[in-house]
Amino acid sequence: MKDAFCGIIGHEKQCDYLRQILGSGQVAHAYCLAGLKGLGKATVAKRFTASLLGLEAEKLHTSPNVTFISNGEEKSISVEQIRELRSTLSLSTLGGGRKVAIIDNADTMTIGAQNALLKTLEEPSRETVIILIAHRPERLLETIRSRVALIAFRQLPIDKIQTELINRFNFSESRASFLAQLSLGRAGFALSCIDEELCKEREQDAQDALSFLISPLYKRIALLEKITKVKEGREHKVQNMIELWRMWLHFALLSCSGIGDQQYVQQLASKYDVRDLRNALSALSNSEEAIGRNVNVSLALCVFASAF
C-alpha cells in the first residue's frame, strides 16, 4: 500500500498519515490538503482516493463514485457547481461503498459556494469523503476549515530536490541543479519532470521570465500584451509567470547580497542594484494582490513592469 500513493518527494510524513488512516479504517468525512501550488497535493489526493476505493489512480476519472470539481479556466468555483456536487453526493453509490469528491483549487470557491459546501460538511455521510485541495487555505471560511482534517504540505530544500532528480530521473547534475532551483522546493513540480515535453516547457517559461526582467521597458510591455491576450489558460499563465518573476528576483537579490550562486542570474544581478530588486519584488506583490481584487490584469502587471 505504501507505493500506492507515497511516491511524492519529501512528503513521506503526509503519506504515512494517510496510510495509517487507510489501515485503521477511521476515515474522516473531509480533508484539506493545503500548501503552495506545485507541491504534489493533487497527486497525493488522487492516490489516496484510489487506495480508499480500491481503484487504479488512472481510472478515477471514469469512476462513477468519484467527482472532480475545479475552476478550470474560470476565476472561481461557483455556487452552482457545489449545488450540483451536493446533488451528486446525495445519490446512492454504484456498487455500494464510498463516494469521493475532490475539489481542486478549493480556495477559489465563491462565498456562496463555500456556504453551500458547508451544509454538506455539517451533515456528513459515512459513505462520502470530500477532499479539498487549497493553495491558499486562509481564503476558506473558518467554518469550513474547522470541519476538515488539515494536512499541510511545505516546500523542500533545493538540494533535496536536486538529489532526487538525479537519483530518480537520471538527470545530469547541471540540469538537475537548474530544475531544482526552478521548482522553488515544490515536490509536485519535480515529479512532473518525468514528462520530458512538460519539463522543456517549464524550462522555456523560466527563460522567458528571466528575459522579461532583463529587457527594456518597451519590450516588457509588449511581452505583457502577449501574455494577457492569451485566451486559453490565461489565469494559469499569468500566475506561473508571477511565480517565476518572483523566483528570479529573489535569486538576484541573494546574489547581490553575496549569497547563492550567480550562475543563472548574473546578468539580472548586474543590471539592478539591491534597491531596484526590492522595489520590483514589492511592486510584484502589489500587482498580484490587485489581480486578486479583480483589477484589470494587464494594468496591474504594467505597474509592476514599470517599477524597475
Q: What percent of the chain has pLDDT over 70?
A: 92
Residue 189 lies in a domain: no
Domain of 279 in residue numbering reads as 195-305
Report the residue count for the chain. 308
My answer on whether 17 and 135 are in the same domain is yes
Same domain for 147 and 224, yes or no, is: no
* Any domain includes 239: yes
Q: What is the 3-state secondary structure (H, E, C) of 114-139?
A: HHHHHHHHHCCCCCEEEEEEECCHHH
* Per-residue cell: 149: 482534517
- The whole-chain average pLDDT of the chain stands at 86
pLDDT at position 264 is: 62
**pLDDT surpassing 90 at residue 96:** no
- pLDDT for 222: 92
**Do 250 and 126 belong to one domain?**
no
108 and 238 fall within a common domain? no
Residues 140 and 199 in one domain: no
Q: Is residue 178 part of a domain?
A: no
16-20, 79-83, 123-127, range with greatest mean pLDDT: 79-83
pLDDT in tens, 150-176: 999 988 888 888 888 888 888 888 888
In sequence order, what E strands does the chain have?
Answer: 30-34, 66-69, 99-103, 128-134, 149-152
Question: Of 118, 152, 186, which residue constitutes the final position of a domain?
Answer: 152
Same-domain status, 101 and 216:
no
Instruction: Provide the domain count of the chain.
Output: 2
Residue 263 pLDDT greater than 70, yes or no:
no
pLDDT (tens digit, 9 = 90+) per residue, 184-197?
788 777 777 777 78
Could you say which of 100, 118, 152 is where a domain stops? 152
Is there a domain that residue 180 lies in? no
One domain, residues 97 and 226 = no
- What pLDDT shows up at residue 10? 64
Rounded CA separation 224/68 (Å) = 33
**162 within a domain of the structure (yes/no):** no
User: Are 103 and 237 members of one domain?
Assistant: no
Whether residue 2 has pLDDT greater than 60: no
- Residues 100 and 239 placed together within one structural domain of the fold: no
Residues 76, 141 within the same domain = yes
Q: Are residues 136 and 201 in the same domain?
A: no
Centroid of chain to Cα 206:
17
- CATH assignment at residue 135: 3.40.50.300
pTM metric for this prediction: 0.73
Question: Environment class of residue 293 by beta-carbon count within 10 Å: exposed (0-12), middle (13-18) or buried (19+)?
Answer: exposed
pLDDT of residue 3: 43
- Residue 8 has, within 13 A of its CA and on its CB side, a CA count of 29
Mind listing the pLDDT tens digit for each residue in 216-261?
999 999 999 888 887 777 777 888 899 889 988 988 888 876 665 5
DSSP state of 74: S
Q: Sign of torsion, CA 123 69 39 24?
A: positive
Q: In this structure, is residue 190 part of a structural domain?
A: no
